[in-house]
């Protein structure tokens, strides 16, 4: 694991949340992107070396909609940058962590991603991500 690449925050509406985070971080949203496979619309902010990803469900049955139904808006995941995502997935699986996808998936912001089940990480959904080259 290299560093925290971004944190993901589940929101009901990017339309209302983006202006709030622009004010909070005092920097504009630099990218919005829909990830069809995840039924999610994302908006990214850069704040110094840190990134924040806002996630809005693009479908009432999407994972973000379900998350908000259960827990309300708020912190959804913490993403760590890794060099070799497949090697890191293998290492973590051997350590007993449960991966939510067997193979790296194409995520937002030109990344390969893999999620770890929060049951084994004390309640925090962990994302691994590496650059898609
Ligand atoms: Zn993320």
Q: Tell me the pLDDT tens digit for each residue of 69-124.
A: 999 999 999 999 999 999 999 999 999 999 999 999 999 888 999 999 999 999 99
68 CA → ligand 1 middle, Å: 16
Q: What percent of the chain has pLDDT over 90?
A: 89
8 CA → ligand 1 middle, Å: 5
96 CA → ligand 1 middle, Å: 22
| Residue position matching structure tokens 């993901």 | 8
The rounded Cα 50 to chain-centroid distance in angstroms is: 13
76 CA → ligand 1 middle, Å: 9
112 CA → ligand 1 middle, Å: 10
Q: What is the pLDDT of residue 22?
A: 97
Q: What is the pLDDT of residue 1?
A: 85
Q: What is the pLDDT of residue 98?
A: 96
Q: What is the 3-state secondary structure (H, E, C) of the chain?
A: CCEEEEEEEECCCHHHHHHHHHHHHCCCCCEEEEEHHHCEEEEEEEECCEEEEEEEECCCCCHHHHHHHHHCCEEEEEEEECCCHHHHHHHHHHCCCCECCCCCEEECCCEEEEEECHHHCCCCEEEEEEECC
Mean pLDDT value across residues 25-52: 94
Is the pLDDT score of 25 beyond 90? Answer: yes
43 CA → ligand 1 middle, Å: 10
**pTM of the entire predicted model:** 0.93
Is the pLDDT score of 8 beyond 90? Answer: yes
Assess contact for 113 and 128: CB atoms under 8 A. yes
Which tens digit of pLDDT belongs to each residue from 40-75?
999 999 988 899 999 999 999 999 999 999 999 999
Is the pLDDT score of 133 beyond 90? Answer: no
6 CA → ligand 1 middle, Å: 6
23 CA → ligand 1 middle, Å: 21
Residue 37 pLDDT level (bands cut at 50, 70, 90): confident
3 CA → ligand 1 middle, Å: 13
């Amino acid at each position: 694991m290299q560093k925290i690449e971004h944190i993901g925050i589940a929101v009901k509406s990017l339309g209302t949340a983006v202006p709030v985070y622009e004010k909070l971080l005092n920097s504009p949203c630099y990218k919005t992107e829909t990830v069809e496979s995840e039924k999610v619309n994302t908006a990214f902010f850069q704040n110094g070396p840190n990134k924040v990803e806002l996630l809005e469900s693009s479908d009432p049955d999407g994972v973000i909609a379900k998350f908000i139904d259960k827990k309300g808006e708020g912190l959804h995941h913490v993403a760590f940058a890794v060099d070799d995502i497949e090697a890191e997935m293998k290492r973590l699986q051997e350590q007993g962590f449960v991966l939510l996808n067997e193979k790296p998936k194409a995520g937002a912001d030109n990344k390969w991603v893999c999620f770890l089940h929060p049951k084994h990480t004390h309640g925090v959904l962990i994302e691994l991500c590496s650059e898609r080259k």
